[in-house]
Structure 1
Amino acid sequence: MFAVVGASACADPDLDSTLTAMSNKQRLVLSIIDFLNQSIQDGTVKQDDKESLEVAIQCIGEAFGVDPTDQAQVDRLSIKPASLLSIFDVFMKTKDKLGSSPAAGASAPAASSSGPSAADKAAAEKHKATGNAHMSAKKYDDAIKAYSQAIALDPTNAVYYSNRAAAYSSKGEHSSAVLDAEKAIEVDPSFVKAYHRLGHAHYSLGDFKEAAAAFRRGLEIDPSNASLKTGLQNAEARIMLRNMGMGGGAGGAGGAGGAGGMPDLASLMSNPMMMQMAQQMMQNGGLERLMQNPALANMMNRMQSGGGMPSMSELMSDPALRDM
């Protein structure tokens, strides 16, 4: 019996290693499929080549047992918030910094032990200034290139990563912005602006909990920062709406449905959070201003005439009520 148990124990590491290797290969394949699908969607691939590429995607998936329509498998294999392109970008920047030859690689530790030279820092600042100018002109790809050159010269400056995160977010590549903002925080945990970049990127990706967490971390360092406070309030509001079945892509699932899949007013006001908000409005005079709104008065008259309770979407269609 001991011999059998011993043999099984010896076999397990090899099996685990094989499964891990296969899982990593499938992660890579899924990342490739995501990249190719994104290239089709954003117009990188010509329309004439779209059908051929779709066939190739199907063949690649079948060869490695990866099905991008299987959400359970996607959740297990996904590398998000990173992407294949962002990982490759980091690799290329590192490669350019260290140099491709063995001699350059061997000399890198000695050069980096004392940090970037004064000349490197000065040159990096010039690249940053160039990047800032490109940002002002909304030339985001050029800005990213300039900030990357600054990082290659001085990877110890958190500002360069933060600025590149802003450039990525400006062109909608929020996953890459997350990576750069996290790197900026790693380089300088006290750099407050990086927390705002990180929170904004997560918020734009719809990950409101991570966004709120980033804003809170920043406020621990700078409790009076107005931008972080506003970001936290917005993120927490979206979390509340999502928990109530409204907004953030939740679409009112699981709640009583008003027009447009949103909960009706009666079910909404039974929510404890909404009751708390109503109490706050009573305290700060917001309820009195709300009741003076002509649109609300018309709705109340309609209800008294037997017209029924207005839906949440009907309330939100009025700009004044929506602002309230």
Structure 2
Amino acid sequence: MAEKQQRLVLSIIDFLKDSLDDIKADDKEGIEVAIQCIGEAFGVDPADEQQVARLSVKPATLPTIFDVFLKTREKVANNNTAQASSSASTSSQPKTTSAEDKAQAEKFKQTGNTQMSSKQYDQAIESYTQAIALDPTSAIYYSNRAAAYSSKGDHLSAVGDAEQAIAVDPKFVKAYHRLGHAQYSLTDFRAAADAFERGLKLDPTNAGLKSGLENANARIVPDDDDDDGPPPLTSDNGLSSSSARGAGGGGVPSMADMLAGLGGMGRGGGGGPDLASLMNNPQMMAMAQQMMANGGLANLMQNPAVANMMGRVQSGDMPSVEELMGDPTLRDIAQQFGGGMGRGA
């Protein structure tokens, strides 16, 4: 499941949980069941603190994200309406900002900068907004307001202003840094990396953009959809996991492969024979094939004595054949599934 989808699902679950107090008591049980079903369907567990920390978009919430969308759509619609009205009324070029308006806008910007220094972020936002109203062609005003929004934790609004600054002036490098910082704060590390990379194309030596890109790339988690899975596991003798499963299925290695792996480890610690030579015994091979065919291998691997032996082998404590055959349980198993092995030992 892609991480971006899980973030959305977690936001939906948080919204539903926060809404429980606002709905009728008769409907609460249905909402709680829906929360559980949605979480299970998308692999999101609200009780998993590590997963929540990785997927959460707080301080943003689903309602605030939706509110930004509505405001953006309304603003775009109003702009389109104004442009259409202007085109219908005159074919001349749009009215340019007067020198007087530009001068006044600069004063509002300076005021906003002073307020930012004093951490008066709301007042700074208002000052930059007034500057934008007088001169909407300045990318600096949008960029400064994005910084003010980020400083107060409203990173979604900062994203909107940074993108607007880029739309006004695509070569204004600082806007890409504002955008990358806001996206990083929202834990959308892929989007943050993209913003920093776009800025570096304009200013390849910008240290801030380089640092931001490195930090964003370090936090990116590959989506499950892009993961082709780990490479096939191989045993010490080079056999792939598909060869090691054998006809018994269920991921249990075949007896032939198991003995080959044991043989590759050399002689037993007790001075016993080289187990690899057992692979040359036709009777041993026939035993392994018979066990795979009748399901005995699966039962064998469930035996506690066998499990203990395999655990010792994996930890590097290689038992000798004499030691194995000295165990009554293992000896009985060997005699049951291949008398030749018991007698040979």
Q: TM-score range by the shorter chain?
A: 0.3 to 0.5
TM-score by length of 2: 0.44
Q: Greater Rg, structure 1 or structure 2? A: 2
Greater relative contact order, per chain length (Cα 8 Å cut-off, separation 6+): 2
